[in-house]
């Protein structure tokens, strides 16, 4: 189910949506922060602010940053009102800076921020950037810049009180595993098949024991060949699906990601838009609520991209 922050992020898909917020007199709030950098450069100060935002929003339900929107402080109400669109030049390059920083300014690495461009025309070199920061389901997130934990309080980021930090760590008594892909490890083999390592990471300080991972190829009719190493092929006892399963021998600890097996797939020759591998990954562990990831993987000779289309609890 979408939370408020994710719903806000998906609702902002054009510059007219931003103008609508201004016309409605919207303000910065629990889930919304605005930045209007003078130049398309993520300097030390902005990187510090990004680190605070990632930590604060992740620890308090998630949030959205609009880059290229100025605010005006209302002295009577004390609120920052959304005022004016200030499009950022060299917007694609600035987005790259944000994406790289958003993946490194916090720890532990248990959430995945995402950003999108808003421009008047696809070819425009200036525009806005919308960054979504999801809430953490595991241990609290801290800034790598100053080592502090933050929370979002109304429209400000405040340092998290010690008792809150302790309570959040105590609340993760059970493990929280997630599916991982590393693009750098994916290889295109000489026979035209893809070698795709399947990994898991632990988002919690609680060790994950008795871990079982299953990988289902949902669109096996689009594949010419499917095999795996590290997994056992359980398709015969699951009629109609191509499914591989593995039981891990040892526990999975936070910060120690593991490759559970490798999937080998050769797609049928067809249009690029149809060369998409659809995977369903289920993860089970003792004292953990089982999770399911539905992934779409785009495969081509010079391209490998992964999109997590859905994440949900199995029960």
Residues 87 and 198 in one domain: no
- pLDDT per residue over 245-282, tens digit each? 999 999 999 878 999 999 999 988 866 556 788 999 99
The whole-number average pLDDT for the span 278-304 is: 85
Give 288's pLDDT tier (boundaries 50, 70, 90).
confident
CATH number of the domain encompassing residue 240 = 2.60.40.10
- DSSP letter string, 134-187: PPPSSSPPEETTT--BEEEETTEEEEPPHHHHHHHHHT--S--EEEE--GGG-E
Beta strands in 36-190, from DSSP E residues, in sequence order:
63-67, 69-73, 80-85, 106-107, 114-118, 128-133, 142-143, 150-153, 156-159, 177-180, 187-188
Q: Which domain holds residue 124?
A: 4-170
Bridge partner list, 88: 127
Domain identity same for 309 and 216: yes
Q: For residue 153, give the nearest of 164, 166, 145 by alpha carbon.
A: 164
CB 32, CB 4: distance < 8 Å: no
Among 152, 170, 188, give the residue marking a domain's end. 170
pLDDT digits (tens, 9 = 90+) for 63-97: 999 999 999 998 887 899 999 999 999 999 999 99
CATH number for position 24: 3.30.950.30
Domain boundary among 170, 193, 209: 170
């Amino acid at each position: 189910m979408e939370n408020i922050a994710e719903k806000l992020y998906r609702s902002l898909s054009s510059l007219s949506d931003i103008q609508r917020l201004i016309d409605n007199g919207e303000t910065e709030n629990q889930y919304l922060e605005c930045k209007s950098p003078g130049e398309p450069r993520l300097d030390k100060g902005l990187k510090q602010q990004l680190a605070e935002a990632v930590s604060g929003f992740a620890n308090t339900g998630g949030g959205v940053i609009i880059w290229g929107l100025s605010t005006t402080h209302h002295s009577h109400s004390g609120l920052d009102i959304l005022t004016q669109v200030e499009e950022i030049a060299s917007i694609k390059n600035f987005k790259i800076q944000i994406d790289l920083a958003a993946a490194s300014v916090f720890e532990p690495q248990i959430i995945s921020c995402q950003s999108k461009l808003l421009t008047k025309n696809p070819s425009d070199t200036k525009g806005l950037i919308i960054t979504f920061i999801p809430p953490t389901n595991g241990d609290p997130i801290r800034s790598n810049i100053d080592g502090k934990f933050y929370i979002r309080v109304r429209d400000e980021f405040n340092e998290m009180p010690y008792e809150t930090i302790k309570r959040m760590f105590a609340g993760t008594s059970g493990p929280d595993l997630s599916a991982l892909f590393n693009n750098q490890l994916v290889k295109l083999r000489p026979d035209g098949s893809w070698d795709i390592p399947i990994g898991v990471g632990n988002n919690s300080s609680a060790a994950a024991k008795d871990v079982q991972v299953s990988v289902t190829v949902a669109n096996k009719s689009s594949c010419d060949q499917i095999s795996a190493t590290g997994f056992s092929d359980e398709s015969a006892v699951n009629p109609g699906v191509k499914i591989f399963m593995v039981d891990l021998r040892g526990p999975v600890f936070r910060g120690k990601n593991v490759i559970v097996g490798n999937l080998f797939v050769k797609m049928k020759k067809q249009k690029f838009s149809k060369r998409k591998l659809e995977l369903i990954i289920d993860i089970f562990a003792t004292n953990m609520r089982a999770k399911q990831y539905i992934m779409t993987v785009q495969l081509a000779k010079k391209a490998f991209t992964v999109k997590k289309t859905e994440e949900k609890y199995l029960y």
